[in-house]
Structure 1
Amino acid sequence: MTRLIKYAFLMSAAIALTACNETLEDIAPKAERQLPSRVVQTMKAKGMSKTSPVMMRIFKEEGKLEVWKAKQNGRYDVIASYDICKWSGQLGPKFTEGDRQAPEGFYTVRPGQMNPKSSYYLAFNIGFPNAYDQANGRTGKHLMVHGACSSAGCYSMTDEQISEIYAFARDSFKGGQREFQVQAFPFRMTAENMARYRNDPNYDFWKMLKVGYDHFELTKVPPKVDVCGKRYVFNSEPANGGKFSPAASCPPMSQPESLLTAYKQHQAKYDFAFNAALKKQSSSKQSETIAGHSEARLVADWSKRRARGEKVSRLPPNIPSPTAVAEAPEAAPTPAVAATASAYTAEPASRLQTALEAVAGEQQEETTTAATETPAAGTVPSPAPRPNTSPERTASVPAPEAGSQGTSLRRRIQNLFSR
């Protein structure tokens, strides 16, 4: 009789929900909610099943969490990508409990680490500290991927996102997967990104992670991860019956020949791209330095000549001259020059654009002045004012060519930034 009453109550609840355009799935426990049909259809199209193995990758700088699932051929393919709502700290690994850093490295999640009753909607513990962290004395606990969009060392998602992410993991465990891998990186480990961060204190650590990153990129299978000599090693087997021990020196080990060959070829391409990225970055910095030096010379020359009372062309707006003024003690800068110096905040590209506009305006002003001062017919023109014939000015500013304003403007620009 009691069972009949409970059944009737559930049916009444279902009818009431249907009237509100809801379904029984809406009252199911949040940890049991199914993946959206659009995701299921995408999995079928890629040759995956709901219960096929899963793995995840995290990229801090890009703010992405990717879910990958195994296809029928055993190789993994990305099935979903989510914008991380919040992660705390900065690029680099977690060192100590309380540093509010989100971990980086290779972690393992087992069924016991799933938390369907989390205070942050749903969550799973990523397994920090792992063997590598422990061997290197790193401390911390309760490092999660969870909902609620709030982080103090974790990777936090929205509730809707964690609901799907949790479902991917839950279904893979139902399919027999015993554990899945979470790979947490500072950024996508391309040659360009590695070149950008080559001077970072964490660079050697990231180079070590990159080996595992590359193995996955080559094979599309989560790498076998071990720790020896306080370092990660990937897809390796100890030789002669040896064992991996996190804190002890690494024993002789081997890798599959096909993987070694593929990795060697990949590394050759990477080295070429890395060196090209270094040259590009070096060239860019050199150009910025040259532009800065040219501008400094322009400012110094202008300020000294202006302080001596010489008639000089207008300085491009928003260019300060505190250094130049210090080098010309014979006269203090005019109030206008001081005001310009204090207001200067433009970036190098903006400075160049400002200079171009100033030179163009100066040339237009000269053209207008010449037109208005043309003597009327029948009158005798007064003698032209004596031009500035100082060797420095004469050598650097050639006379305008008739009918060639573009050429004259280009030369003036070159002279302004070549002193």
Structure 2
Amino acid sequence: MNQDLITIGKKAQNAANKLALMDTATKNKALIQLADDLIKNKDTVIDANQQDLANATTMPAKFTDRLMVNAQRIEDMANGLRSIADLNDPTAQIDKGWITKDGLQILQRRVPLGVIGIIFEARPNVTVDATGLTFKSGNAVILRGGKEALQTNTALVKILRESLQKQELPVNAVQLITDTSHAVADEMMKLTDYIDVLIPRGGRNLIQRVVTTATVPVIETGAGNCHIYIDKDADLTMATDITVNAKVQRPSVCNAAEKLLIHRDVAAKFLPTIAQALIDHGVQLRGDTDARKLVPAIRPATDEDWATEYNDLIMTVKIVDSLDDAINHINHYSTHHSEAIITNDITRGRYFQQAINSACVYVNASTRFTDGGEFGFGAEIGISTQKLHARGPMGLQQLTTIKYEITGNGQVRK
């Protein structure tokens, strides 16, 4: 095992032990200071980011958007830290308590997970969001970002660590692995003696590599083949506005809609209008035979298209015969992230919500709201698409587990 990783793991465990005992007021004050220091040093971060952008000559534009850091995005990162400081501390609460028949007092208390490892791609905001959420929930974090963002992540972690040191708080609450090789990432995935849970943030290939390689427990996140279904009872204006927003507002993120399904009864009326609105925003449309008959500008869809997360201005269109046909198609091809139905029939909307097997299911709203900040979590560590432990946007609560504290007065079991 890589000795540098073991050293990082030991330092993280030591920091986690101290963080678990830290009171809420101290954590909140520290988060505010982290935010202030981030703003104070924004030029350093932007300069480092310019180095990363200069090296990203072969990276598609949809990914350089994620990589890019400017003054506004640093302000957003800092505001995220401040928002986390305003949230309730889950580790300050007792979930419930009771007295057993033997007179034992049992308390179910919320406690940190311990050391959280995060492997992510070219999104520097993850560095700050993860640090804030893990710190507030009493966890230490080990970060391993992609090589594309190395200079930016290094600058951010240096600022965060120096801020903690200045406050005489555990500096190893956040550590960055600067070796971006696959070999080191694979070793990190097997650091079971030191990392309690691993969270991958990135595309499908990264997530699947972590899931199949790691021996550390993994929370699967992120991949978003998200669908919008326009029902026969939908309002055309609402359907158009939501579809355009879900696809266009920020196409490179995991909660952007990739597929559009339309009920056959309204397809002839709705699709030409919605398609033109999407095309006007630069969206390339692909579709099945029925969709192409209604809008000749739509390109033929392949079998691969239905399962593809584009992260780009591309959308695939399908005409369906019924609500159940839409549900069956979505459940087959979805990555179980976010799906939406547009309908004026609330009964059909509720049925869709119950039948769809995804973490977040919307009625008459854009999938772009699947976000920790939008859900009121302050920020998010990722969006879980699995069912165990956490599902959907993961905030502070999802970074904790439970402990049973049992107090007696001499009881022995008979």
Same fold (TM over 0.5): no
Q: Compare the two structures and name the one with the higher strand fraction.
A: 2
* Higher normalized contact order (CA 8 Å, seq sep 6+, divided by chain length): 2
Bin of the TM-score, shorter chain as denominator length: under 0.3
